[in-house]
């Protein structure tokens, strides 16, 4: 690198619900700085449509991916991680419930769709704590504010007081979406190579996700 020229951060957009897995991946990346922006995949898709120039995108909501593809964005998506959405509880016979807010996270959107299929959503939405992250759900359970939670199976180990009561979806996928450009900066290409590597796949599996 020439004197006086600084390497720019790699910019990464990722869903809040996958923060634990993404942070683990970033811990394993030693080649340079990555600026990660966590948020709602749908909101981030809107930003990307408006021209936000992320180098790499991880989408936790397939609808956000379909939206970008339907708008004609040149993307190369591939599956990065998967985990079923489950209902977990201290007991499985009811109690206060914490769930992802569908207005804040793709897991919340998927939860609303799953519970709407059998007519449970309206009743659940009136009573549930609507939260924005896995850590917020974990805190609600540990503090006693919630006795049950709808969450990813991959996060269940973080809340030992809960056990799985019902599987709501067989798999919920997160996608690595790569904006296709004529030229990648060298460090971005190296980062993408790392995300596709066996070492990164092992980090994902260690956090309870499947590839």
Mean pLDDT calculated for residue range 18-38: 89
What is the 8-class DSSP label of residue 8? P
Looking at residue 177, what is its pLDDT?
Answer: 67
Residue 164 bridge partners (DSSP): 88
Pairing of strands 75-83, 172-179: antiparallel
Q: What is the CATH number of the domain that holds 39?
A: 3.40.190.10
| Helix or strand run (H / E) with residue 111 | helix 106-117
Whether 5 is covered by a domain: the verdict is no
Residues 66 and 96 in one domain: no
Those residues with Cβ within 8 angstroms of residue 188's Cβ, 6 or more apart along the chain or in another chain: 10, 55, 56
Q: Cα angle at 164 between 160 and 169, to 5 degrees? A: 130
What residues make up the domain containing 193? 10-82+172-206
What are residue 67's phi and psi, to 5 degrees?
Answer: -60, -45
How much is the pLDDT for 165? 96
pLDDT per position as a tens digit, 96-150: 999 999 887 788 888 999 999 989 999 999 999 999 888 899 999 999 999 999 9
- Per residue in 74-99, pLDDT tens? 777 778 888 899 999 999 988 999 99
């Amino acid at each position: 690198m020439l004197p006086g020229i600084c390497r720019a951060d790699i910019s990464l957009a990722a869903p809040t619900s996958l923060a634990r897995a993404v942070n683990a991946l970033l811990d394993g990346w030693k080649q340079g700085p990555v600026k990660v922006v966590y948020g709602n995949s749908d909101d981030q898709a809107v930003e990307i449509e408006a021209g936000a120039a992320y180098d790499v995108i991880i989408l936790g909501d397939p609808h956000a991916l379909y939206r970008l593809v339907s708008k004609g964005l040149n993307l190369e998506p591939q599956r990065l991680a998967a985990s079923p959405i489950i209902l977990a509880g201290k007991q499985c016979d009811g109690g206060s419930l914490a769930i992802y807010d569908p207005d804040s996270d793709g897991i919340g959107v998927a939860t609303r769709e799953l519970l709407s299929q059998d007519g449970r959503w309206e009743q659940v939405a009136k009573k549930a704590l609507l939260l924005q992250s896995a850590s917020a759900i974990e805190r609600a359970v540990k503090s006693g504010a919630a006795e049950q939670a709808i969450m990813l199976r991959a996060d269940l180990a973080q809340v030992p007081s809960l056990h799985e009561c019902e599987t709501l979806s067989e798999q919920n996928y997160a996608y690595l979406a790569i904006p296709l450009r004529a030229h990648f900066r060298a460090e971005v290409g190296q980062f993408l190579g790392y995300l596709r590597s066996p070492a990164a796949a092992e980090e994902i599996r260690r956090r309870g996700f499947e590839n």
